[in-house]
Amino acid sequence: MNKTELVRFFDHTNLNQDATDSDINKLCMEAIEHNFYSVCVNPSYVTFASELLQNQKPIVCSVVGFPLGSNKSDIKLQEALLAVTDGADEIDMVVNIADIKNGNYEKITDEVSTIRKNLPFNIILKVIVESQNLSDTEIKKIAGILIDCDVQYIKTSTGFFGGATIENVELIKSIVGEKIKIKASGGIKTYSDCIKLIKAGADRIGSSASINIIDSID
């Protein structure tokens, strides 16, 4: 895969708690220069990023319930709606991982379905499941639920507690097929990482190392 093809897989990311205006400006300018698919920023920077990227090709992605996923569902919903009002085109929401561990799958279904139904139809919803902390059985179960919730993506990780693995992407792909897409995120640092994950089934790559990856391609 050449550089022109690969750049469109990237959600160019800065979710650091100490990210400054200058850092987000740099992120957005890099996204424009390299034609990345999106920038992924914390909710407080959605308006700023949207203004910087106005009439440009990269879009704005923001996070909800990040990074723990343990916010109450109504707070996640309001956070998602506010992000869209501020200019977000895509939402990466962290599911409550404790609910997976507790087997509270009906609660997860209600939460995700409610947020999906209340978002405008053109807003992409990705649901983060921290797959590196789940068993194969749990991954299969949550992947099946997300298909039924009509989300567009399942996302492997926040990147704060581990990252994407080829094995987990392959497992998720075996369950979701073409019904929903996969975003691999967390610990993706090299061109080789990207290619292996894409071959395993990833449709999008979330990384804060996007520039280093792209610059390494001859």
Catalytic residues: 92, 155, 183
Cβ atoms of 189 and 213 within 8 Å: the answer is: yes
E strands, 28-180, where?
A: 38-41, 59-64, 90-94, 124-128, 153-155
What is the Cα–Cα distance from 202 to 199, expressed in whole angstroms? 7
What is the Cα–Cα distance from 99 to 170, expressed in whole angstroms? 23
How many Å is the maximal CA-CA distance in the chain? 48
Pairing mode, if any, of strands 181-185 and 153-155? parallel
Half-sphere exposure (Cβ direction) of 94: Cα atoms closer than 13 Å: 22
Q: How far apart are the first and last CA of the chain?
A: 11
